[in-house]
Amino acid sequence: MLIERSAPGKVILCGEHSVVYGEPAIAAPVSTLRAIATIAATETALKRGLRLIAADLEESLYLGEAPATHPLAAIVRQVLNHLGGPPAPNAILTVRSALPIAGGLGSGAAISVAAARALAAYLGHELSPETVSALAYEVERLHHGTPSGIDNTVIAHERPVYFVKGSAPELFTIAAPFTLLIANSGIAASTREAVAGVRRRYEAAPTEYVARFARMGALAQAAREALTQGQWATLGPLLDENHALLQAIGVSLPALDRLVEAARQAGALGAKLTGAGGGGNVIALVTPETAGEVCLALEKAGAHQVWQTTVG
Ligand code: PMV
């Protein structure tokens, strides 16, 4: 028996960081860039339990020897616990991902969701999006300390989401598909460090930061409006303003600003960094007509990879 399950990446369209402070944020799945988990019975005579393989990292270990903080072991333990504690099967669980690691595209949550679904299916269970999101959230906590929960939510549901920390996520429908370019700066970034840096600066100047977060929240609300009505010309400037606010809270980098500027110059309707910042990826809202030109401009401005994806 071989079972395969997958999960998409995600982009935050508006509201990263401010979401940690209770403001709304908007995220959408990136269905073309996925994490994939397969699980199959082991053929070796040595039945040592569940073997975990992270193919991209060329890492292989048995569940029994994995520390509590190992993210793949952690999601497996979450699933087994959720299912009432069955023994881990004698099998090989392999994960791989098209998503850059530490790039703000939800690679960690996508691997957790894919792995949880594959293991549960192998044991005869299908997990609901709510359940798999909650299990993946526990692993996100290992990576990030105090994550808002937006990544696991949008990835588990694979739907655009209007997200307020601590409230039930509001899934919504986008009026018509739109095209995004995702450009990888090639700079790996730690979400934990970016979030901690914002916290320090917020504590030093709370009034200014609260005002910035509130404005980001207002942009997220306006973005939801634009998305549900298909007003791409309105959405673009919202992304631009969100990027300026992310610069103001200190999470952009010259390399990211260059990509954003190049995309706008080449005709993107709007562009911003996405995710925690300090590296990672930028997104550019384009039309099918401008996509080629903007893609070239992003590559010229230093993007390591550019992906085109349709959202909605
Ligand atoms: O995992 P990333 O890089 O997409 O960052 C998540 C977004 C933050 O708002 C920066 C953190 C959070 O927990 O929401």
Residue 217: predicted pLDDT? 98
Contact 201, 250 (CB under 8 A): yes
Q: Are 91 and 62 in contact (CB under 8 A)?
A: no
Looking up tokens 């899934």 gives 171
Instruction: Identify whether the C-beta of residue 276 lies closer than 8 Å to the C-beta of residue 189.
Output: yes
Residue type, 194: A
- Containing 5, the helix (H) or strand (E) segment is strand 2-14
Q: How confident is the model at residue 145 (pLDDT cuts 50, 70, 90)?
A: confident
Distance, in Å, from the CA atom of 182 to the CA atom of 265, rounded to the nearest integer, reads: 16
The DSSP symbol for 176 reads S
- Nearest in space to 235 (alpha carbons), one of 11, 9, 8: 11
**Rounded average pLDDT over 52-69:** 94
Beta carbon of 281 within 6 Å of any ligand 1 atom: no
Cβ 26 under 6 angstroms from ligand 1: no
What CATH class has 174-311?
A: alpha beta
Distance 41 CA to ligand 1 centre (A): 36
- pLDDT band per the 50, 70, 90 thresholds, residue 42: confident
CATH class of 2-170: alpha beta
The burial class, CB within 10 Å (0-12 / 13-18 / 19+), for 288 is: exposed
| Selection from 195, 231, 198, 237 nearest residue 219 by Cα | 237
Q: What radius of gyration, in Å, describes the C-alpha atoms of the chain? A: 20
Among the listed ranges 52-56, 66-70, 143-147, 160-164, which one has the minimum average pLDDT value? 143-147
Expressed in angstroms and rounded, the spacing between residue 271 Cα and the centre of ligand 1 is 18
Tokens of 79: 């699933």
pLDDT confidence band for 46 (50 / 70 / 90):
low
- Tell me the helix, strand and coil percentages in the chain, rounded to 5: 45, 25, 30
88: three-class secondary structure by DSSP = coil
Domains of the chain by residue range: 2-170, 174-311
SS3 69: coil
Active-site residue (options: 56, 151, 240, 257): 151
The pLDDT confidence band at residue 143, using thresholds 50, 70 and 90, is confident
Structure-block tokens of residue 250? 């200190």
| Residue 6 pLDDT grade (very low, low, confident, very high; cuts 50, 70, 90) | very high
Query: What's the mean pLDDT in 198-211?
Result: 98
The reply to whether ligand 1 has any atom less than 6 angstroms from the CB of 151 is yes
191 CA distance to ligand 1 centroid (A)?
6
Supply the pTM of this predicted model.
0.94
**pLDDT tens per residue across span 94-120:** 999 999 888 899 999 999 999 999 999
Q: 89, 41 in Cβ contact below 8 A?
A: yes
Q: What is the largest CA-CA distance in the chain?
A: 64
Q: For the segment 7-16, what is each residue's pLDDT rounded down to a tens digit?
A: 999 999 999 9
Of the pLDDT bands very low, low, confident and very high (cuts 50, 70, 90), residue 45 is low
Instruction: State if residue 249 touches ligand 1 by the CB under 6 angstroms criterion.
Output: no
The protein residue with its alpha carbon nearest to ligand 1, atom 13, reads 147
The residue-averaged pLDDT of 234-263 equals: 98
Check residue 23 and give its pLDDT: 98
Query: Do the bridges between strand 50-54 and strand 25-41 make them parallel or antiparallel, or are there none, so unpaired?
Result: unpaired
Is any atom of ligand 1 closer than 6 Å to the C-beta of 148? yes
On the question of pLDDT at 1 being above 90, the answer is: no
State mean pLDDT over 216-241: 96
Please compute the mean of the pLDDT values over residues 145-153 and round it to a whole number: 92
Residue 68 has pLDDT above 80, yes or no: yes
Closest protein CA for atom 14 of ligand 1: 148
Provide mean pLDDT across the span 210-225: 98
Instruction: Output the pLDDT for position 43.
Output: 76
DSSP letter string, 11-38: EEEE-TTGGGGT--EEEEEEEEEEEEEE
Per-residue model confidence (pLDDT) at position 47: 75
Q: What is the pLDDT of residue 146?
A: 84
Tokens, residue 122: 């192998």
Mark whether 240 is an active-site residue: no
Question: How far is ligand 1, taken at its centre, from the CA of residue 63, in Å?
Answer: 28
275 lines ligand 1 (CB under 6 A): yes
Atom of ligand 1 nearest to the CA of 150: 14
